Amino acid sequence: MSSEIKVRTYLEKSRPMLIGGQWSEGSGGVQQLIDPATEQVIGTAALAAETDIDLAVAAARNAFESPNWRRMPPADRAQRLWKLAELVEENADELAYLDTLNEGMPLGLAEFLCGAGPAEALRYYAGWCTKIEGTTAAISMPDSRPQGAFGPAYHAYTLREPLGVVGAISPWNVPTLMALAKIGPALAAGNTVVLKPSELTPLSALRLGELLAEADFPDGVVNIVPGTGAIAGAHLAAHKDVDMISFTGSTATGKEVARLAIGNLKRVGLELGGKSPILVFEDADLESTIPALAEAVFMNSGQICFAGTRVYVQRGIFEATVEGVARIAAAMKLGHGLDPETALGPLISARQRDGVMQYIEAARAGGDRIATGGNRLARDGFFIEPTVIVPKSINSAIVRDEIFGPVLCIMPFDTLEEAIALANDTPYGLASGVFTSSLSTAHRAAAEIRAGSVWINCYAMLDEAMPTGGYRQSGWGREAGRQGVEELTQTKSVVASL
Ligand code: NAD
C-alpha cells in the first residue's frame, strides 16, 4: 500500500489517545487538524481533558511499579528500543507523510527526520540501557574503629535509578523526532512516560503509540495524550504524581511550566527557544559557507529551534555574502511538502504566519534593507517568502526576538572581539556557528560564545552522542548524550559497614 493510501485510511476515523495500552476517545472532545499548505481539514484527533491526564499518569505509575517493567533486565529494554528503531524505519514513509501533511515540511526532509534520524537515535539509547552505572567510592573519613586485617570497614557505592513517571511535552515542529527524542532516553533510563504532543500535530506521535505496542513495551509504559497546552499540558506540568517534566517549546511557555512544576518539586528539563548567531570570517570558504547559511535558517521554513537567524559577516565579504544568500533564497520553490520540487513549505498556522509578517512589516517600516523576500504568498496556505534582511539597528525586535519563520538578519562586523560581543548580545543561548579557515579563530570563538552548541564550518550537525540544550533563557539541562540519559535518573548513595 502506498504511504498516501495508508495515511488516508489512518485518517478516516478520529484518532484516539493511548492510555494504559488502551485506545480511548478521552473526555476533552476532538480537534480538527489542518494541512498548513492548503488550510484544509485533514482529520481529527482526540483532545485530553484533565481527567485523561490523571488516568494517563496513573497508568504510567502502575507500569513503573509493575515488575514487568521495573524488573525487566536492561538488555530486554534495549532489545525493545532496538525493535522500535526497526519499526520506525519500516514505517518511515507513513510517519513522514503524516508530518508533511500536518506540519508542512517537505517530504524529503520529513523522510530523514522520521526514519533514519530517529531510528539511529533509538539505537543509541538502546545502547545506554546496559550502561547506566553507579560508582564505588573510598570513604575518606578516618575510621576510629579497630581495623581488621582487611583494611577499611565500609563499602560505599552509588546506584543510578530511574526517576519514575516522566511527563513529556513536545512542540509542533518536527513531530516524530520530538516525540522520540522524549521517549527514547526516558525508556532507556527505565522510566515510564506520559507524552503530550502539540495539539496542532499529534498524528505521528499517535501512530508511534501503535509501534510501541508492536515493539512489545508493556501497557502503560508510554501513554500518548494529545491536548491543548492550557488544559492538558498545564495539568501534566502541575501533576503531583509526575516525577519529571521534560518540556520542549517556547521560552515563555517553559517559564510557565517551571512555575507549574514547583508544587511537588518535580525535576524540570527545558529545551527552549533561540536566536542563534553564526559568525562568518573573511577567511571562510564562501562557496560552501553561503549554501550552509541558507540551509541553517530556512530549513523547515525557519521553524527549527536551532535556526541560525542572526548571521554576522566580516566586513570585507559582507556584500558578497548577503548577495549569495539572497540569491539562494529567491530561488527556493515554495509549495506543498508533497510536491517533490518544494524546497520550502508553509508555516504551521495563520497565527504563526501573521506573527512573522508583523516582524517583517515593522522592519520594512523602520527602513531596514530587505535583500529578498518579505512577503506572504497570495494563495491558500500559510506561506512566507524566504526573507533576508539587513537591519539598521542591532537592537530592533527582528534582531532580538525568536521569530520562528524564514527570516534571516545579516549584519557586518570588523574584529573577532566585536563578533563575539554581537553573538552574545541576546537573552538566548541555544546554538551557534563559526565559519573560518583559521583553527585559532574557530576555537577562540567556540570558547567565548555562550551557547549550548557551537558548530564549526557546518551547522545543526546534531548527533545523539552530543548533548544539546540552552545557556541562559534557552533552557535548563541537556538532552542527548550521557548527560541527557543521566538527567533522567537519580543517584542513590549506599554505605555499608562491613
Ligand atoms: P509552545 O511553547 O507554544 O508549545 C510547546 C508545547 O507546550 C505544546 O505541546 C503546547 O501545547 C504546550 N503548552 C502550551 N502552553 C502550555 C502550558 N501553559 N503548560 C504546559 N504546556 C503548555 O511552542 P511551539 O509553538 O509548539 O513550538 C515552537 C517553540 O519551541 C519555539 O520557541 C522553538 O524554539 C521551541 N523549540 C525548542 C527546541 C529545543 O530543542 N530547544 C526544539 C523545538 C522547538
Q: How far is the CA of 406 from the centre of ligand 1 (A)?
A: 18
Closest atom of ligand 1 to 274 CA is 34
Does residue 14 have its Cβ closer than 6 Å to ligand 1?
no
The residue to mutate among 199, 248, 304, 382, having the most atoms of ligand 1 within 8 angstroms of its beta carbon, is 248
- The secondary structure of residue 73, as a DSSP letter, is -
Neighbouring C-alpha atoms within 13 Å toward the C-beta of 459: 31
Q: How far is the CA of 170 from the centre of ligand 1 (A)?
A: 6
Query: With 80 as the cut, is the pLDDT of residue 147 above it?
Result: no
For the segment 87-141, what is each residue's pLDDT rounded down to a tens digit?
Answer: 999 999 999 999 999 999 999 999 999 999 999 999 999 999 999 999 999 888 7
Average pLDDT over residues 348-365: 97
Q: Is the CB of 120 under 6 A from ligand 1?
A: no
The model scores a pTM over 0.85: yes
103 in contact with ligand 1, CB cutoff 6 A: no
- pLDDT above 90 covers a percentage of the chain that reads 95
Q: Is 271 a catalytic residue?
A: yes
Coil, strand or helix at 310: strand
Looking at per-residue pLDDT, the higher value among 149 and 58 belongs to 58
pLDDT confidence of residue 140? 81
Dihedral, CA of residue 58, residue 59, residue 65 and residue 71, to nearest 10: -160
Query: What residue owns the CA closest to ligand 1's atom 12?
Result: 229
Q: Name, in order, each residue with C-beta under 8 angstroms of 406's C-beta and a sequence gap of 6 or more.
A: 297, 298, 301, 302, 329, 344, 356, 373, 384, 385, 386, 387
Q: Tell me the average pLDDT of the chain.
A: 96
pLDDT of residue 318: 98
Catalytic: 323?
no
* Closest alpha carbon to 382 in 332, 346, 338, 339: 346
pLDDT tens digits for range 181-191: 999 999 999 99
Considering the candidates 94, 111, 199, 271, report the single residue annotated as catalytic.
271
Distance, in Å, from the CA atom of 141 to the CA atom of 488, rounded to the nearest integer, reads 31
Question: Number of C-alpha atoms within 13 angstroms, CB side, residue 372?
Answer: 19
Q: Is the pLDDT of residue 42 over 80?
A: yes
- Is the minimum distance from the CB of 256 to ligand 1 under 6 angstroms? yes
Please tell me the distance between residue 274's alpha carbon and the centre of ligand 1 in angstroms.
12
CA-wise closest residue to 77 among 22, 121, 116, 125: 125
Q: What would the pLDDT profile of 207-227 be if each residue is shown by its tens digit?
A: 999 999 999 999 999 999 999
**CA angle, residues 97, 98, 99, in degrees to nearest 5:** 90
Q: Are 401 and 274 in contact (CB under 8 A)?
A: no
Q: What is the pLDDT of residues 397-454, one digit of tens each?
A: 999 999 999 999 999 999 999 999 999 999 999 999 999 999 999 999 999 999 999 9
- Per CATH, the architecture of 3-272+475-497 is what? 3-Layer(aba) Sandwich (3.40)
Residue 327: count other Cβ atoms within 10 Å of its Cβ.
14
Judged against a pLDDT cut of 90, whether residue 349 lies above it is answered with yes
Q: Where in the chain is the domain with CATH 3.40.605.10?
A: 3-272+475-497
Residues of the chain within CATH 3.40.309.10 domain(s) are: 277-463
Give the nearest ligand 1 atom to 348 CA.
25
Question: What is the predicted pLDDT for the residue at 141?
Answer: 78
Q: What string of DSSP letters covers 228-252?
A: -IIIIIHHHHH-TT-SEEEEES-HH
Mention the CATH class of domain 277-463.
alpha beta
131-158 mean pLDDT = 83
Angular region, 196: left φ>0, alpha ψ -120 to 50, beta rest: beta
Cα(475) to ligand 1 centroid in Å equals 12
Band (pLDDT 50/70/90 cuts) for residue 151 is low
Residue that the C-alpha cell 503524516 belongs to: 98
Beta pairing partners, 211: none
Q: Which atom of ligand 1 is nearest to the CA of 170?
A: 9
Residue 285 has pLDDT above 80, yes or no: yes
CA distance 405 to 407: 6
Q: Minimal CA–CA distance to 468: which of 495, 492, 487?
A: 487
Q: Whose CA is nearest to atom 23 of ligand 1?
A: 249
Which residues in 101-115 are b (16+ Cβ under 10 Å) and which e? bbbbbbbebbbebbb
Quick: pLDDT tens for 300-317: 999 999 999 999 999 999
Residue 152: which pLDDT band, with cuts at 50, 70 and 90?
low
Residue 400 CA to residue 473 CA, distance in Å, equals 13
Cα-to-centroid distance, 305 and ligand 1 (Å): 10
Residue 241 has pLDDT above 70, yes or no: yes
Please say whether the beta carbons of 71 and 198 come within 8 A: no
Centre of ligand 1 to C-alpha 121, Å, is 21
Pocket test for ligand 1, best of 47, 99, 169, 468 (most atoms within 8 A of CB): 169
